[in-house]
Structure 1
Amino acid sequence: MDIQVQRFAVTNLRRRPVVIETGGFVAGLSPDTDNPYLNYATPLPGAEPTGKDVAALIGIFRERGLLPRLEFAPQAAPAVAPALRAAGFGIEAVHEYLLCTPRTLTAPQPDDALRVETPTTDEEYAALDAAISEAFGDVFPASAEGAARLRRTQQHGGAVRFVRDPQGGCAGGASCSPPAEDTAELSGVGTRPTHRGRGIATAVTAALTEAMFTRGAGSVWLEYSGEGSRRVYERAGYRPQGTRLYVSLPRTQQP
């Protein structure tokens, strides 16, 4: 599964507004933001980069004022992590990823109070972007660009879902990428702190996953941030599958 997830990562980055390929790496960049989580690279499965290849990749980020950063499944390209370490890259995190298949998907019991919807208006996309931002402690501030990215995800073959709060706003939601390589990535699952504990994240996760299976994906994968979120995803049928590595070049290591 690591190779399939890595192939997906490559295809998904090639969907970015700016794509640059060099030395076995694919960099996907978003010119409307310097957010490092929206500007990063990933290796091709089996890549064996040289020091010159890594230097060229660093240059792509530096000339744009961006943090040189990669996300990838290390087992799909075992030679990459040592080459990056030799160039001074440090580990940001190692995340386990979970996988759901049509066989393991567990849909929650219907609940009128947790009706999962697809946003259609600019106001709904903006409310969802704001809810996800609040859910993650405003690390990624809500913005018109964030709402637009959610809309593009829905329009370009992915899926976006949310649950309303009692006042008609957004209590929480998430998005899922368009399928590629027979899989899709579900991300940004967030619930406003005042609405947690109601099953919103599980309901949204199950709805998005089912939507991808309806579109023909053979699996959906995601990463979790802690044991609490892991239990949420396990209730929807997700199971441990592999790991993904996040690395970046510290500012002090850049020439």
Structure 2
Amino acid sequence: MLTRLEAYYDAVPRSAARAEDFGPLTLFVREGVGWPYYARPTRGHTGAVDVEAVEKVRARQRELELPEAFEWVAETTPGLRAAVEASGLVVHEHPLMVLTAAADERPAPPEDVTVRMVGAADPALESAVAAPYAAFGATPTPGVAAQVAARIEAGLTRLAAAFDPSGTALAAGQHQPVGPVTEVVGVGTRPESRRRGLGLAVTAALVADARALGVETVFLTATDATVARLYARLGFRTVGTALIAEPAEQAG
């Protein structure tokens, strides 16, 4: 399973980013608008990763004015943590979860909320794209909604959202299929609408959509063990630990 996920992790950024080779590490540089990417272990690399390699990538990220971020799976590349910590980065651990069981129940949204998939020409697209940004106190940069629409048209992204009666998206998220694998990403709820089960309802809609498309492996990264227990209600089980490294000041 982890080998399958590694292949996905290497493939999925390439539809929106260029890959720069740093030997044991690959830096993905987004081309166009949207959340910036990160560096991660080069697919197939089995040797050690030293602190010098990490420093070279960080220097390139600073040159490009990108966040100094690294992402990887602890069980797949166990030696990387020591190198990134030696370079001064802070490492965060998150449960890596794969859908392996039937859901205990499909969570129903509140009666005044509708959860549905959002197409490229949907008038509610911009609102749905904006909701996860609002969850982090941000707003999308110009052109993000158009880029998401293009990715939906190309079959690279699937978008689901929870709407109030006025048609405003209160929560939204995506899954990004690559062959038989997809990852649920970017699920976020507007601060004023939290604790209503909307994020879980959106995730359930994305899972149902992925299954309807014939996707075999659905996975996600949970924020922490508490959130992981919520995802377990949908049939997700922890298979590893996703690690994210960044400077202390970026960690905020």
Q: TM-score, normalised by structure 2?
A: 0.81
Structure 1 residues not aligned, in runs of 5+:
none
- Corresponding residue for 1:176? 175
Cα distance between partner residues in 2 of 1:153 and 1:229: 28
- Corresponding residue for 2:165? 166
Deviation at 1:68, TM superposition (A): 2.8
- Corresponding residue for 1:26? 26
Q: Which runs of 4+ in 1 moved over 6 A?
A: 109-112
Deviation at 1:228, TM superposition (A): 5.3
Cα distance between partner residues in 1 of 2:23 and 2:52: 8
Cα distance between partner residues in 2 of 1:228 and 1:79: 27
Over 3 Å counting, the alpha-carbon distance change for 1:227 and 1:82 in structure 2 is closer
Cα distance between partner residues in 2 of 1:95 and 1:226: 6
Structure 1 segment 68-147 matched on structure 2, within 5 A: 68-86=68-86, 88-101=87-100, 103-106=101-104, 108=106, 113-120=112-119, 121=121, 123-136=123-136, 138=137, 140-147=138-145
Contact 1:97 1:242 in 2 (8 A): yes
Cα distance between partner residues in 1 of 2:44 and 2:83: 15
Question: Amino acid of the residue matched to residue 108 of structure 1?
Answer: R
Question: Amino acid of the residue matched to residue 186 of structure 1?
Answer: V
Structure 2 residues not aligned, in runs of 5+:
none
Deviation at 1:224, TM superposition (A): 2.1
Q: What whole-Å deviation, never above 9, does each CA across 1:46-102 have from its counterpart, x for those lacking one?
A: 44235554344334323212233210102112232233334x14224111122213x
Percent of aligned pairs with the same amino acid: 23
Q: TM-score, normalised by structure 1?
A: 0.80
Question: Amino acid of the residue matched to residue 217 of structure 1?
Answer: V
Cα distance between partner residues in 2 of 1:221 and 1:126: 25
Contact 1:45 1:76 in 2 (8 A): no
The SS at the match of 1:118 is strand
- Corresponding residue for 2:39? 41
The SS at the match of 2:75 is helix
Q: What whole-Å deviation, never above 9, does each CA across 1:169-214 have from its counterpart, x for those lacking one?
A: 112111111235x421101212223333443222211111122223
Two-structure CA RMSD over aligned residues (Å) = 2.9
Over 3 Å counting, the alpha-carbon distance change for 1:215 and 1:227 in structure 2 is same
The SS at the match of 1:128 is helix
Cα distance between partner residues in 2 of 1:45 and 1:89: 26
Aligned residues: 244
Cα distance between partner residues in 2 of 1:134 and 1:70: 24
- Corresponding residue for 1:248? 246
Over 3 Å counting, the alpha-carbon distance change for 1:46 and 1:209 in structure 2 is same
Q: What whole-Å deviation, never above 9, does each CA across 1:96-147 have from its counterpart, x for those lacking one?
A: 122213x4345526777543222234742211122222223x1x42333332
